[in-house]
Amino acid sequence: MRSIVSRVRGFSLIELVVYLAIVTVVSVTALVAIGDIVQLFGRIRIERRVAYAGEVAMESSIRNIRNGTFECEDSKPVISVPSNVQVYNSSCNVINNTAAGTRVTFTIQAGDGRYKVSRVFSSFGIKRPSGQ
């Protein structure tokens, strides 16, 4: 006499439910990890954009102060930055007319929504004496 177990083939309903539960948990975990990585890369990209724009703007401002070609209109410095960043809260103050010292402060912002990043940059430059 053959046993009944030898004729049964396939998976039981409980085995299928357990398998689907395991696959679902693994899939959701993988998707959440991928989403976090994408957000991190987006944030890093915006951070690098702001840092680069701030560095370039600050270097050119200080160079222009030293050369005597810096423009400060209505206590706002004329700053050139790439079109994908915005400059906010910019100011420039002439500290001492005899030394022609100028402090430049500005905030650069880039991104939108959850990737919005803003940083404050500040520096001080002194005009070189003429003839040097």
What are the tens digits of pLDDT across the range 55-97?
Answer: 888 888 888 878 877 776 666 666 666 666 776 656 666 555 4
Of 16-20, 45-49, 126-130, least confident by mean pLDDT is 126-130
Is 0.75 surpassed by the pTM of this model? Answer: no
Taking residues 34-44, report their average pLDDT: 92
Mean pLDDT of the chain: 78
- For the cut 70, the answer to whether the pLDDT of residue 102 exceeds it is yes
Q: What is the pLDDT of residue 52?
A: 86
Q: What is the pLDDT of residue 26?
A: 97
Going from N- to C-terminal start, the domains of the chain cover: 10-126
5: pLDDT strictly greater than 70: no
Q: Inform me whether the pLDDT recorded for 10 exceeds 70.
A: yes
Top-confidence residue, 107 or 18: 18
Provide the 8-state DSSP code for 10.
S
